Amino acid sequence: HVFNFKIVANEADLITEDKPFFNPKFTHQIYNSDETLRGHDDPSIEIFLSPSTLTPFLNWNTRCTRIDAAGSDAAAKSSSCYGFHTHKQDDIQGKLQATFENSLITDRTKFIKLVRNENRRFRPLGKFVTEFTRQIDAKPQ
């Protein structure tokens, strides 16, 4: 899956190996009617959401493809596309920034600080009734 969404409650939730994500079925609202990202090879877009305000944090990686004047492709060596733009390459961060109305965080440290603050300050509406512990693979969650 190219797009992955996840609500996180702490810094450990940002570790993505073997962790469940929500994978949207349709992305044409953000990326083209044919749901493709142009100019990127093997893109991986992870959007983490803070627990109470759902503020998004973007983590993305891709190999970039440059189309030279002769029409041949040349893959970039870096894991991100900053400074490696062509006229045929979609602006991943720019399109997501517009979709999230400029609330998109791209700094991991800033996002972790936000999550910690939300965890300290958030109080759900209503009256506390009970609580439970959910176990996955015999590990308390």
Q: What would the pLDDT profile of 78-110 be if each residue is shown by its tens digit? A: 444 444 545 577 777 777 788 778 788 989 999
Asked if pLDDT for residue 114 goes beyond 90, the answer is yes
Asked if pLDDT for residue 123 goes beyond 60, the answer is yes
Q: What percent of the chain has pLDDT over 70?
A: 56
pTM for this one? 0.61
Cβ 74 vs Cβ 32: under 8 Å: no
Q: How far apart are CA 45 and CA 18, in angstroms?
A: 16
Which whole number is the average pLDDT over 30-42? 62
Q: How many domains does the chain divide into?
A: 1
Q: How far apart are CA 75 and CA 73, in angstroms?
A: 7
Q: How far apart are CA 138 and CA 129, in angstroms?
A: 25
User: What is the residue range of 125's domain?
Assistant: 3-140
Cβ 71 vs Cβ 91: under 8 Å: no
CATH number at residue 87: 3.90.360.10
73 SS3 class:
strand
